[in-house]
């Protein structure tokens, strides 16, 4: 609901605001500290969400009549995210894309919520983020304890203010037109990692094979984003193997 009313020129307008923000920030010398990064992230995301509200008539701005169309089951599902859930999302975005612009951060957030909506990586935010061999920072979390604690809390508050009361699928539907990524975008990696390079040592052979099977969508910031290949392509590969 809501996104079906968005016109292409509205999306372009929102993206222009994002670009203007990034140009303004690019000319400034930012102190490289956890708090400085967090402050910049919060400022960027608030600017981004303001643009989304202004240009895209997000579902959060739906009329009372539209809200009444939700069933009680849907309403119950939408109320599932706790403060801890938003803190987990904030930590994931901070440690995965903290030095990127708002678009890169929202893209990581979208993938996180999309994975939860799919159910393939778990049925809770904790299960999704701490799924084995997925988000690399989780393997070193003890070393990161206390880092940017204030910043993570600020980010969590920003996400909660925008997305509280919505389901993972609804959040993905809101972010997808802004990031330009498909709602089924479940994967990303560093853009400079080359899965086809035999001398690439920053990826395991298993990870290389995973990304070779996926469909590249676009690069945002320092990351390249992927989705599963179309069903037709998967069936064709199985046929060839047989």
83 and 112, same domain (yes or no): yes
What are the backbone angles phi and psi of residue 2, rounded to the nearest 5°?
Answer: 95, -50
Domain boundary pick from 149, 180, 211 = 180
Distance, CA of 158 to CA of 199 (rounded, Å): 41
Domain boundary pick from 148, 180, 212 = 180
Lowest mean pLDDT among 30-44, 165-179, 218-232: 30-44
175 and 207, same domain (yes or no): no
Q: What is the mean pLDDT of residues 71-95?
A: 72
176 and 91, same domain (yes or no): yes
44 and 156, same domain (yes or no): yes
| pLDDT (0 to 100) of residue 125 | 95
98 and 201, same domain (yes or no): no
Cα 59 to Cα 72, 94, 146, 155, 163: the distances in Å are 17, 26, 35, 21, 10
**170 Cβ partners below 8 Å, 6+ apart?**
59, 78
161 and 46, same domain (yes or no): yes
118 and 192, same domain (yes or no): no
Structural domain span for residue 188 = 184-242
| pLDDT (0 to 100) of residue 200 | 94
Please give the model's pTM, rounded to 2 decimal places.
Answer: 0.70
Tens of pLDDT, residues 169-200: 999 999 999 899 999 999 999 999 999 999 99
Task: Give me the DSSP letters along 178-196.
Answer: HHT--TTEEEEEETT--TT
Task: Give me the DSSP letters along 125-137.
Answer: HHHHHTSTTSSGG
Distance, CA of 113 to CA of 227 (rounded, Å): 14
Structurally, the chain folds into a number of domains equal to 2
What are the backbone angles phi and psi of residue 63, rounded to the nearest 5°?
Answer: -75, 165
90 and 196, same domain (yes or no): no
């Amino acid at each position: 609901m809501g996104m079906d009313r968005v016109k292409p020129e509205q999306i372009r307008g929102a993206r222009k605001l994002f670009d203007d923000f990034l140009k303004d920030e690019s000319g400034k010398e930012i102190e490289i500290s956890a708090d400085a990064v967090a402050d910049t992230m919060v400022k960027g995301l608030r600017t981004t969400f303001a643009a989304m509200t202004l240009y895209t008539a997000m579902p959060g701005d739906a009329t009372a009549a539209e809200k009444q169309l939700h069933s009680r089951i849907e309403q119950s599902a939408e109320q599932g995210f706790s403060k801890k859930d938003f803190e987990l999302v904030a930590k994931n975005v901070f440690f995965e894309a903290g030095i990127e612009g708002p678009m890169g951060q929202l893209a990581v957030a979208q993938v996180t919520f999309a994975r939860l909506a799919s159910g393939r990586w778990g049925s809770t935010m904790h299960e999704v983020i701490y799924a084995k061999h997925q988000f690399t920072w989780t393997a070193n979390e003890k070393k990161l304890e206390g880092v940017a604690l204030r910043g993570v809390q600020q980010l969590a508050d920003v996400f909660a203010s925008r997305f509280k009361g919505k389901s993972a699928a609804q959040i993905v539907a809101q972010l997808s037109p802004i990031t330009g990524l498909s709602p089924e975008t479940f994967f990303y990696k560093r853009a400079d990692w080359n899965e086809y390079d035999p001398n690439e040592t920053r990826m395991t052979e298993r990870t290389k094979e995973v990304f070779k099977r996926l469909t590249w969508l676009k690069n945002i910031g320092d990351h390249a984003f992927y989705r599963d290949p179309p069903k037709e392509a998967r069936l064709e590969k199985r046929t060839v193997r047989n």
